């Protein structure tokens, strides 16, 4: 059955750079996914990135510090399990992306995101304001990521915040620091950050967001781990630039995008 995006979701995505598909995963699918991901976390099945590796605010100083073994991302999500593979290739996602991209040939990138983001109590870090496209190299900066809430995502466990509309604005290089995060000390950036909204998600929701949308997230201050699979997609007519990090692995064509 073909999914028709609601007009308000299409307009929200065009105007704000994101929209949330509420209750996207059924309870049995969500529960099975959670069990499969937890199985890869305890004990940790690599490849994985640790909090100590990213060095974001709040992360342990290095792998030998207290909490130094805390995972931050389970990498290569698509290749990890049948549950994650089915999620990455989800037929309804393909149909929604086809409408958002105006193309019925949609591909999953294996090079970007394609991971399960984790936020552990105690040793998680915050992510500063950034656009995902900053390190990605494609013909056009027009990729879309889908972020799934396996459990509830609220401000106190590190839910994403976004600055609506930033996916269509241009930002001079001077507004960003050496790692291409927004420089919070600049008055013009402060005005922008004041417009931020927390995107609260309930377990099973899916957030679709543009690769130029500025977003950030806080630490997990609760006592439960937060786990969020994230996949990124591009249209067939928007290819990775050869020999860049975006071209390390082949993209996977989704079927049933129409
Ligand atoms: O969960 C977070 O801290 C945000 C992660 C994020 O935005 C990213 O890795 O691009």
Ligand 1 pocket: which of 115, 160, 220, 229 to mutate (most atoms within 8 A of CB): 160
pLDDT one-digit tens code per residue, 40-94: 999 999 999 999 999 899 999 999 999 999 999 999 999 999 999 999 999 999 9
pLDDT of 31 reads 97
Residue nearest to atom 7 of ligand 1 (CA): 216
Q: Which atom number of ligand 1 is nearest to the Cα of residue 119?
A: 1
- Compute, in angstroms, the gap from residue 117 CA to the centroid of ligand 1: 7
User: Is 25 within the bounds of a domain?
Assistant: yes
User: Is 53 within the bounds of a domain?
Assistant: yes
Q: Which atom number of ligand 1 is nearest to the Cα of residue 228?
A: 1
pLDDT of 257 reads 52
Question: Is 113 a pocket residue for ligand 1 (Cβ < 6 Å)?
Answer: no
- Compute, in angstroms, the gap from residue 97 CA to the centroid of ligand 1: 21
Gyration radius from the chain CA atoms:
18
pLDDT one-digit tens code per residue, 151-168: 999 999 999 999 999 999
User: Is 1 within the bounds of a domain?
Assistant: no
User: Is 191 within the bounds of a domain?
Assistant: yes
Paired with 120 in beta bridges are: none
User: Is 222 within the bounds of a domain?
Assistant: yes
pLDDT one-digit tens code per residue, 199-209: 999 999 999 99
Question: Is 257 a pocket residue for ligand 1 (Cβ < 6 Å)?
Answer: no
Q: Which atom number of ligand 1 is nearest to the Cα of residue 124?
A: 3
- Compute, in angstroms, the gap from residue 161 CA to the centroid of ligand 1: 10
User: Is 258 within the bounds of a domain?
Assistant: no
Question: Is 158 a pocket residue for ligand 1 (Cβ < 6 Å)?
Answer: yes
User: Is 2 within the bounds of a domain?
Assistant: no
Domain count, the chain: 1
Residue nearest to atom 2 of ligand 1 (CA): 217
List, as one string, the DSSP characters of the chain.
-PPPPPHHHHHHHHHHSEEEETT-S-HHHHHHHHHHHHHHHTTTPSSEEEHHHH--TT--SSTTSTTTT-EEEE--GGGT-HHHHHHHT-HHHHHHHHHHHT-S-EEEESSSS-EEEEE-TTT---EEEE-GGGG--BSSS--EEEEE-SS-B-GGGT-EEE-TTGGGS---GGGB-TTS-B-TTSHHHHHHHTT-EE--B-TT-EEEEETTS-EEE----SSS-EEEEEEEEEETTSPBPTTSGGGSS--EEPS---
In the predicted structure, residue 258 carries a pLDDT above the cut 70: no
User: Is 89 within the bounds of a domain?
Assistant: yes
In the predicted structure, residue 142 carries a pLDDT above the cut 80: yes
Residue nearest to atom 1 of ligand 1 (CA): 217
Give a three-class secondary structure readout of 53-107. HHCCCCCCCCCCCCCCCCEEEECCHHHCCHHHHHHHCCHHHHHHHHHHHCCCCEE
Question: Is 217 a pocket residue for ligand 1 (Cβ < 6 Å)?
Answer: yes
Q: Which atom number of ligand 1 is nearest to the Cα of residue 215?
A: 7
Q: Which domain range does residue 22 map to?
A: 7-253
Question: Is 127 a pocket residue for ligand 1 (Cβ < 6 Å)?
Answer: yes
Q: Which CATH number belongs to the domain containing residue 164 in this structure?
A: 2.60.120.620
Backbone φ and ψ for 68, nearest 5 degrees, come out as -65, -15
Residue at token pair 């543009």: 210
- Compute, in angstroms, the gap from residue 10 CA to the centroid of ligand 1: 24
In the predicted structure, residue 247 carries a pLDDT above the cut 70: yes
On whether the pTM is more than 0.95, the answer is yes
């Amino acid at each position: 059955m073909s999914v028709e995006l609601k007009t308000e979701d299409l307009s929200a995505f065009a105007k704000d750079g994101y929209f949330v598909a509420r209750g996207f995963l059924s309870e049995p699918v969500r529960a099975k996914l959670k069990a499969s991901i937890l199985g890869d976390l305890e004990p940790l099945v690599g490849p994985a990135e640790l909090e100590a590796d990213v060095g974001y605010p709040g992360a342990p100083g290095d792998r030998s510090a207290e909490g130094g073994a805390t995972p931050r991302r389970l990498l290569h999500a698509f290749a990890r399990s049948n549950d994650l593979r089915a999620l990455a290739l989800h037929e309804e996602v393909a149909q929604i992306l086809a409408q958002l991209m105006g193309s019925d040939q949609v591909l999953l990138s294996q090079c970007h995101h394609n991971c399960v983001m984790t936020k552990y109590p105690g040793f998680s870090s915050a992510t500063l304001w950034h656009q995902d496209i900053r390190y990605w190299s494609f013909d056009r900066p027009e990729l879309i990521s889908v972020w799934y809430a396996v459990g509830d995502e609220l401000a106190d466990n590190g839910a994403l915040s976004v600055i609506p509309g930033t996916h269509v604005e241009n930002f001079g290089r001077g507004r960003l620091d050496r790692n291409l995060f927004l420089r919070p000390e600049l008055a013009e950036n402060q005005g922008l950050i004041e417009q931020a909204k927390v995107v609260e998600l309930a377990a099973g929701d899916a957030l679709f967001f543009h690769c130029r949308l500025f977003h950030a997230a806080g630490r997990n201050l609760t006592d439960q781990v937060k786990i969020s699979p994230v996949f990124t997609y591009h249209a067939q007519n928007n290819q990775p630039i050869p020999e860049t990090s975006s071209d390390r692995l082949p993209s996977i064509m989704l079927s049933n995008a129409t």
